[in-house]
Amino acid sequence: MANVKKSASKMGGATNKTYLTKRRLSSAASAGIRLAAARTLRVMGYTIVAENGWVVKKYPDGRVLKIKKLAKQKKNFRFVLD
């Protein structure tokens, strides 16, 4: 299991406690989203993503078509729709 971290218990020193950290889970989810977007682009010929405050359609040749402006968010993030 690549995204699993083992940790020793503070009390007994046992090493059977297994958990996913938020950072590892976020990293795995981001990698999966990037892979899905790349496959969608290859299969459908475009992919729709939210980027820089816009919902945009991206094409394999690099063209980007702005579809709709998004309402302002407190945090910047990238979200991919398949």
Is residue 71 one of the residues assigned to a domain? yes
Is residue 6 one of the residues assigned to a domain? no
CB 49 within 8 A of CB 58: yes
Q: What is the pLDDT of residue 71?
A: 87
Q: What is the pLDDT of residue 66?
A: 97
Q: What is the pLDDT of residue 24?
A: 86
Is residue 2 one of the residues assigned to a domain? no
Mean pLDDT by 10 residues, the chain (82 residues): 50 57 87 91 91 91 94 71 62
Tokens 């940790």 belong to 7
Residue 35 lies in domain: 16-81
Is residue 72 one of the residues assigned to a domain? yes
Distance CA 79, CA 82 (A): 10
Euclidean distance between the first and final Cα of the chain, in Å? Answer: 27
pTM: 0.53
Question: For the chain, how many structural domains are there in total?
Answer: 1
Is residue 1 one of the residues assigned to a domain? no
Is residue 10 one of the residues assigned to a domain? no
Is residue 27 one of the residues assigned to a domain? yes
Is residue 4 one of the residues assigned to a domain? no
In sequence order, the 6+-apart residues with CB closer than 8 A to the CB of 64 are: 56, 57, 58
